[in-house]
Amino acid sequence: MTPDTALVPPGTPAPDRRAVVRTSPLAPGSAADPLWYKDAVVYQLHVRTFADGNGDGIGDFAGLIARLGYIRRLGANAIWLLPFYESPLKDDGYDIAHYERIDPRYGTMDDFKRFLAEAHRLGLQVFTELIINHTSTAHPWFQASRRAPVGSPKRNYYVWSDSDRRYLGARVIFNDIEPSNWTWDPVAKAYYWHRFFHHQPDLNFDNPRVRRAVFKVMRFWLDLGVDGLRLDAIAHLYEREGTSCENLPETHEFLRAIRTEMDRRYAHRVLLAEVDQPPPIARTYFGAGAGDECHMAFQFPLMPRLFLALKREDAGPIVSIVKETDHLPESAQWAIFLRNHDELTISALTPEDRQLMFDLYAPEPRMRLNLGIRRRMAPLLDNDPSRMALAFSLLLSLPGSPVIYYGDEIGMGDNIWLNDRDGVRTPMQWTGTAGAGFSESDQPLTLPVIDDLIYGASTVNVEQQESDPSSMLWRVRRMVAARARSQAFGRGTIDFLTVTCGSVLACLRCYRDDTLLIIANLASTPQRCELMLPAEIADRTAHSLFNDDAVASAALAALSLAPFEFRWYRLVRPMAAPSSTSPASVQNSI
C-alpha cells in the first residue's frame, strides 16, 4: 500500500511523542501519566449482562453506572467494555450496524457520556472496541455496497468477487459454523469476503474511503474521551493472493497511520491489539522495534500455556513463553488474561498441546468450539479455590497488565448448552435471588442466569462473598491491592530463578530500586525445594506483600511450600529493613 495521502500528507515525519504529550491537551478524565496502561488492572465486562438498571431484563449503562463502585473496590483502575453499538446482535455486538450509535437496549449516548464521566471520576480509564475489520450485513454501508455498480467506490467498501476460489490460503476461523470465507449475495450477484460469520462482511481497506471512514469512527470515540481502543481482529484487515491474509505489511502500515493520528491529536490514549498469533508475530503489533503501532497487545501466547502449566503442575510452559515474549519496546505492554468472552483459544499451540488441552479441559464435545474451549475459569479449575487463587496470582504477577473477566473474581460458572459463546457471557451474579440481582424483570433475561447447584446464583454471588473475608472476591481484592503497592508488577523486568522442583515458579520482578520475589507452587502436593538466589539479594529481607511478615532472603533458599501456595515478597536492603528478620515460615494469608 502506498502511504495514505488522504490521512497523512507525504513526508510527514513521525511525531515526537514527547512533543505530542506537551501539545495535545489532556481530555478531562485522561490519565496524567502517558504510561498509565502499564499500571492498569482492567475489568472486562459486557453492558448487556452486567446490571439491568431499568428492569427490562437487559443490562444497560444505568445499571453499570450504579455498579462502578464495585469495580473500583475490586482495585481495578480500568474497564474494557464489550461492544455496545447498534447491532442485530448476531455476534454479541461484534456485528455493528452503526458505529456512532449506542444500541438503544443499553441506553442513550447521554447515558454513555454519564458512564464515562462517572468512571473517570472514580479513577477508572475506559477501553472501548474499535471493530473495523468487518461490519454487520445490516450496516448501511453494506446495504449500499451490494446495490452499487460494480467498480464504484460504494461497491468497493467491501471485498467482492465473482469466484469463491480466491484467497484460499486464509483459514476459516469459525470453522465449526462457516464452511468458507466467501458467501454469495443474491442482491449483488457476487461473493463477499468475511473472516468471521457470514453476516459480518469484511471492509475493503484498499479503498481509501474506507480508511477515512474508519479514522472518523476512531476520532468520534476519542473525542468523547475514551482512553483506549481495543482493535478487534486487527490481523485480518487486508487480503492478498498467495498469503494467509493475516499480518500483512499493509495492515502494519495502516496501524502506523492510526497510531500517528492518535498521537497527533490525543494525549495519553492507548491502542490494544487483539492478535491471536505466535510470539514472533504477536510482538510485531507493537511496531518493528520502534513502538509505533499498538501500545498493548493481548498475551495470547501465554494464556493457554498458563492452563497447561496448571494442569501439568509444571512451571516450564510459563517460563519458556514468558522468556520468548520478553524485551518489548519501552512503551509496549502485554494485556495478560486468563479467560475472556470468547472460547479459550488454543490455535497458537502445537497440535500435541492442543489435543492435550482438549483432553484435559474439554472432555465433553459440547465444551469445544472452533479451535477452543467454551468454559469459564472456575469450572476449568475444578472450582478449587486454591487453584483459582493461584491462577489469579499468576495473572497478577507475571509481566503485563492483567485483565479480569467479569464474574471470574467470584468464581462464576458457565452453561455450555447455550448458543455459541453465550455460556461464558451469562448475567453477573450479584445476589442469590431469581434474577441474581442482575435484573428485577419477571420476563426472560437477555441470557439465563446460571442456575446449577454448584455455580448457581444462590451459591455463587457477590453479596455472599462480600460478607466472607475468605471468599474468592476478597482474595482477589487483596491480591490486586498488594499489586498496587509496587510498579514492578506492571513495569518491571522479569528474571526466573533456578528452583530444584519443576512445579515451582520463582522469579524476580525489578523496577528502579524495587525488587520483588514471586514464588508459586503449581503442584497439588507440598513441595520442598531449593531456590538459587542471586548473591546481590542474599542479604535482603523479604517482606510479604500480603501481610506484615518478614524473613531473611537467605532463609528462602530452602523452601517448603503448601499445595498451590504462592508468595509475593518485596526484597528490602539491609539498611531499610525493620528489626524482624526471623527465618520463620511466612504463611500466605491470601
For ligand BGC, the closer of residues 178 and 263 by Cβ is 178
Q: According to CB under 6 A, which one of 37, 70, 85, 94 is a site residue for ligand BGC?
A: 94
**Rounded Cα gap, residues 209 and 200, in angstroms:** 19
CB of 233 to ligand BGC, least distance (A): 4
Out of 99, 196, 266, 430, name the contact with ligand BGC by CB under 6 A: 196
Measured from the CB atom, the residue of 80 and 94 that comes closer to ligand BGC is 94
| Residues 115-144 as x/- pattern, contact with ligand BGC by CB under 6 A | ------------------------------
Shortest distance in whole angstroms from residue 342 CB to ligand BGC: 5
Is 409 in contact with 30 (CB distance < 8 Å)? Answer: no
Q: Give the CA dihedral 168, 170, 172, 173, nearest 10 degrees.
A: 180
Of all helices (H) and strands (E), which one includes residue 224? helix 208-224
274 as an active site residue: the answer is yes
CB of 175 to ligand BGC, least distance (A): 13
Of 93 and 490, the one with the shorter C-beta distance to ligand BGC is 93
Q: Which of residues 332-351 bind ligand BGC (CB under 6 A)?
A: 341-342
CB 68, min distance to ligand BGC, A = 23
Considering only 52, 91, 422, 565, the residue that binds ligand BGC (CB under 6 A) is: 91
Task: Give whole-number Cα distances, 17 to 237, 265, 285, 292, 401, in Å.
Answer: 26, 11, 18, 10, 22
CB of 71 to ligand BGC, least distance (A): 21
The one-character DSSP state at 232 is T
Given the residues 39, 86, 129, 232, select the one marked as catalytic. 232
Question: Is 535 in contact with 480 (CB distance < 8 Å)?
Answer: no
CB of 428 to ligand BGC, least distance (A): 18
Closer residue to ligand BGC in complex, CB, 293/342: 342
Residues that contact ligand BGC, how many (by CB under 6 A): 8
Helix residue ranges per DSSP H, 332-376: 351-361
Instruction: Scan residues 204-243 and list those touching ligand BGC (CB under 6 A).
Output: 232-233
Please identify, using beta-carbon distances, which residue of 201 and 492 lies nearer to ligand BGC.
201
The phi and psi torsions of 373 (rounded to 5 degrees) equal: -130, 120
Q: Please say which residue, 91 or 111, places its beta carbon nearer to ligand BGC.
A: 91
Task: In angstroms, give the least distance from the CB of 345 to ligand BGC.
Answer: 9
CA distance 245 to 251: 10
CA 387 remoteness from chain centre: 21
Distance separating the N- and C-terminal Cα atoms of the chain: 53
Examine residue 274 and tell whether it contacts ligand BGC (CB under 6 A).
yes
Contact between 510 and 495 under an 8 Å Cβ cutoff? The reply is yes
Among this protein's residues, is 33 annotated catalytic?
A: no
Q: Among residues 233 and 381, whose Cβ is nearest to ligand BGC?
A: 233
Q: How far is the CB of 340 from ligand BGC (least distance, A)?
A: 7
Place of cell 497511520: 257
Closest to 6 (Cα-Cα) out of 129, 153, 192? 153
Rounded CA gap, 47 and 81, in Å?
A: 7
Closer residue to ligand BGC in complex, CB, 173/542: 173
Selected catalytic residue, list 274, 293, 313, 565: 274
The answer to whether the beta carbons of residues 57 and 444 sit under 8 Å apart is yes
Cβ at position 94, least distance to ligand BGC in Å:
3
Q: Which residue is nearest to ligand BGC (CB)?
A: 94
Residue 127: helix, strand or coil by DSSP?
strand
Q: Which residues contact 60 (CB under 8 A, 6 or more apart)?
A: 47, 51, 52, 53, 54, 105, 106, 107, 111
- Restricted to residues 144-163, the positions that interact with ligand BGC (CB under 6 A) are none
Residue 149: exposure state from Cβ atoms within 10 A (0-12, 13-18, ≥19): exposed
Cell matching residue 178? 462457516
The alpha-helical segments, DSSP class H, found in 234-341 are: 249-265, 279-282, 303-312, 316-324
Backbone angles phi, psi at 294, to 5 degrees: -90, 145
Nearer to ligand BGC among residue 93 and residue 400 (C-beta):
93
Which positions are catalytic? 232, 274
Q: Which residues bind ligand BGC (CB under 6 A)?
A: 91, 94, 196, 232-233, 274, 341-342
